[in-house]
Amino acid sequence: MYRGGRPNGIARALNRLDARVLSSGRLPVQRAAALEVPGRRTGEVVPVPVVIADHDGERYLVAMLGERTNWVRNVRAAGGTAVLHRGTRTPVRLVEVPVAERAPIIKRYLDLAPGARAHIRVDRRAPVAAFEPIAAEHPVFRVEPLPAE
């Protein structure tokens, strides 16, 4: 469904369904939400399902499909401003984490997101050091709350 790191039609349809269900807040899934960020070209908001990884008291989003992921490009174009939607919309700032700090966060993410394991080429049980060589391939963003407008 993600040949070449890009979702095919089935994956896009499932992502839309997942985002809709997560946005409703009706599932007891604490670590998942729909990420809403305007498209960098159209300005249209396309919700994307994400898993929120916790590490050292902070929350993070990890791009399992890497640099070419549309939501990553859109977040960068929006200066990190986005919304996490899970029952209620929470405005957030997504701050990109330096490559040197990503390895333990990616490892934690794999513990929480079984669906991502096929896309990150390190076994989740490997030591943190094994994640360092692939850290540059997977953008990581720290989630910082913004005051509601």
List, for residues 58-113, the tens digit of each pLDDT value.
999 999 989 988 999 999 999 999 999 888 899 999 999 999 999 999 999 999 98
Tens of pLDDT along 109-127?
Answer: 999 988 788 779 899 999 9
**Distance, CA of 138 to chain centre:** 10
The backbone torsions φ and ψ at residue 59, rounded to the nearest 5 degrees and listed phi first, read -115, 145
In order of their start, the domains of the chain are: 3-145 (2.30.110.10)
Strand partners of residue 62: 140
> What's the rounded Cα separation, in Å, for the pair 51 and 140?
12
Instruction: Report whether 48 contacts 20 (CB < 8 A).
Output: no
Whether this model's pTM surpasses 0.75? yes
Instruction: Report whether 139 contacts 63 (CB < 8 A).
Output: yes
